[in-house]
Amino acid sequence: MATGGASQVSSLESALLCGICLSEFDATLRRPLILPKCGHTFCRICVKNLAARGEVMCPSCRCRYQDVDPDELPVNFNVQCLASSDRPFPTWTKYSETRDTDCQIHGVRLAFWCKTCETAACGECLFEQHPRPDHNTCRVQEVIQEIKGLAEKLSQESCVEIVVRLGETIRGTLSYVSDLQEAAHLLQETARVNRNALAAQDLPSITSVFESAKTVKQRVSALDRSEEQSNRSALESLGTVPASRPAILALSDNGSLGRVEVEEKGIHLFSLRPPSTAYSVAMKLNVLTACVSKESPQVFLDVSAGERRLGRVYIVLEGHMKRAQQFMALCLGNLGFSYRNTRFDGISERGQPGTYIRGGDYQGRGGLGGEALMDGLEWGGPWAKPKAAGQVCGVGGEEQRRFGSLFAICLKDNPEDTFQCPFGVVTEGLQALEVASRHDPFHMVHISDCGIVIPL
């Protein structure tokens, strides 16, 4: 429906513009005049310019006219009335008035492009300098759309390359920071060994110092980047890998922090926490979120029962839907609330076709909270679909805002029943939810963590 409406507006807008200069018709200088034989309409100024050369040739169909007097041509009053009325779509008049897009020779808009000469032209220039078939011409808007498409393609390709480089950089940064931390620990350990060596007075104590010195030497050798893997294994066998691992966190505008991990499926950005977490390196949150797919964003939920981790659930969302955008915001926590540490509040139609698990009450009201964070959430009508395993659907109708953030995940198909607004699908981890649905007691099942994924 939206596409059809946009097409109708575009067609109507085009009909209210002169086909030669692409200026907007009006009731004064640019009155829409009809060429009587062919019926095509152009503005008074353009018709006068054509008539000044003697013979008039219709730019649309090449129909020829002799001794045309523009003042005697009929006015297209339907077009004039529409052009003079208020319309809910933008026009190009201000564009031509505020930008250097007028032909310096004829004083009308450069609305065409000659591909042969690679230059812009007005309607007059087409006849005088770029005649067909010797010249390949088109409207400037066609060139703009073509360039726009190429720009979007290049941008998408660049984004994919940037995300891969970003993942490699995060891995490298974590490794270098780990080495930096290890070097600092070794400096402290070396100083301690030196103090003990100076204080040693008998064979057992000096032997102990010697063993400590050998361990420190092994750890120093392990900092050699070219032998990282073998040295890391050796250190693990010695039990000397630093207990504290370095952390890269995403920093939001309000100071909240989200852990950043590079895993097999991509860069994982975990739900934001209060600004009290220690970290080694911080990145701007919007740098990472700019790499998230707009059409099919991916999120994850870590499902646990008490302290026992049941598995991770990956969900691909319908990026154009508001419910999907709200779900992603609640996985990230960038609107102040998060699904992290929220319970799954129940199972509906247990053991039957269409079984689904319910969750999303970030307000902790036992499934009676979870107020919507966004307006205009989808419900019913064209959004409704038969129940299918893995579907993620909103809960609560259009008028039930207090349940707008609740969601349901279908565990079994039921083509005979319907979900009113599916906005995503589980791509991996549905088995973890099936295990969760059988856990007793069920109230212990919760989302221990969540976030968004930037695929590599």
Helix (H) or strand (E) holding 219: helix 203-221
Q: 311's torsion region: left (phi>0), alpha (psi -120 to 50) or beta?
A: left
Q: Residues with Cβ < 8 Å from 336, sequence gap 6 or more?
A: none
DSSP character at residue 279: -
CA-based nearest residue to 103, from 20, 44, 15, 19 = 20
Question: What are 236-281's pLDDT values in tens digits?
Answer: 433 433 445 567 788 888 888 998 888 888 889 999 988 765 666 7
d(CA 44, CA 37): 17
pLDDT band for position 390 (cuts 50, 70, 90) = very high
pLDDT band for position 177 (cuts 50, 70, 90) = low
Kindly state whether residues 129 and 198 are assigned to the same domain: no
Q: Residues with Cβ < 8 Å from 324, sequence gap 6 or more?
A: 297, 317, 318, 423, 424
pLDDT band for position 423 (cuts 50, 70, 90) = very high
Question: What are 25-39's pLDDT values in tens digits?
Answer: 887 778 899 998 888
Block residue for tokens 């209060």: 274
Q: Residues with Cβ < 8 Å from 225, sequence gap 6 or more?
A: none
pLDDT of 441 over the 60 cut: yes
Tell me if 267 is assigned to some domain.
Answer: no
Q: Which of 94, 110, 144 is the last residue of a domain?
A: 144
What 3-state DSSP class applies to 452? strand
Tell me if 191 is assigned to some domain.
Answer: yes
Tell me if 334 is assigned to some domain.
Answer: yes
Q: What is the DSSP string of 367-421?
A: TS----SSSS---SGGG-EEE-TTEEEE-S-TT-GGGTT-EEEE-S-EEEEEES-
Total domains in the fold of the chain: 3
CATH number at residue 433: 2.40.100.10
Question: What are 280-311's pLDDT values in tens digits?
Answer: 677 888 888 888 888 999 999 999 999 999 99
Q: Averaged over 370-381, what is the pLDDT?
A: 91
Tell me if 153 is assigned to some domain.
Answer: no
CATH number at residue 97: 3.30.40.10
What pLDDT shows up at residue 386?
95
Block residue for tokens 């010697």: 210
Kindly state whether residues 71 and 102 are assigned to the same domain: yes
d(CA 160, CA 137): 35
Kindly state whether residues 113 and 171 are assigned to the same domain: no
pLDDT band for position 95 (cuts 50, 70, 90) = very low
What pLDDT shows up at residue 238?
36
Kindly state whether residues 140 and 184 are assigned to the same domain: no
CA-based nearest residue to 108, from 131, 144, 140, 69 = 140
Tell me if 264 is assigned to some domain.
Answer: no
Kindly state whether residues 192 and 328 are assigned to the same domain: no
Kindly state whether residues 222 and 88 are assigned to the same domain: no
CB 170 within 8 A of CB 288: no
CA-based nearest residue to 437, from 412, 454, 414 = 412
Kindly state whether residues 301 and 226 are assigned to the same domain: no
Q: Which of 238, 260, 281 is the last residue of a domain?
A: 238
CB 206 within 8 A of CB 200: yes
Q: Which of 113, 144, 175 is the last residue of a domain?
A: 144
Question: What are 48-58's pLDDT values in tens digits?
Answer: 888 887 788 88
Q: What is the DSSP string of 15-38?
A: HTB-TTT-PBP-SSTT-EEEPTTT
d(CA 19, CA 24): 10
Tokens coding 309: 């981790």
Kindly state whether residues 417 and 330 are assigned to the same domain: yes
Inter-CA distances, 201 with 196, 205, 210, 213, Å? 10, 7, 13, 17
What pLDDT shows up at residue 176?
63
pLDDT band for position 67 (cuts 50, 70, 90) = confident
Q: What is the DSSP string of 242-275?
A: -SSPP-EEEE-TTS-EEEEEEETTEEEEEPPB-T
Residue 414 dihedral angles phi and psi, to the nearest 5°: -155, 85
CB 219 within 8 A of CB 240: yes
Q: Which domain holds residue 133?
A: 12-144
Tell me if 381 is assigned to some domain.
Answer: yes
Kindly state whether residues 309 and 441 are assigned to the same domain: yes
Kindly state whether residues 323 and 215 are assigned to the same domain: no
Kindly state whether residues 177 and 323 are assigned to the same domain: no
User: pTM of this prediction?
Assistant: 0.58
What 3-state DSSP class applies to 4? helix
Tell me if 312 is assigned to some domain.
Answer: yes
Tell me if 429 is assigned to some domain.
Answer: yes
Kindly state whether residues 117 and 211 are assigned to the same domain: no
d(CA 46, CA 20): 7
CB 68 within 8 A of CB 58: no
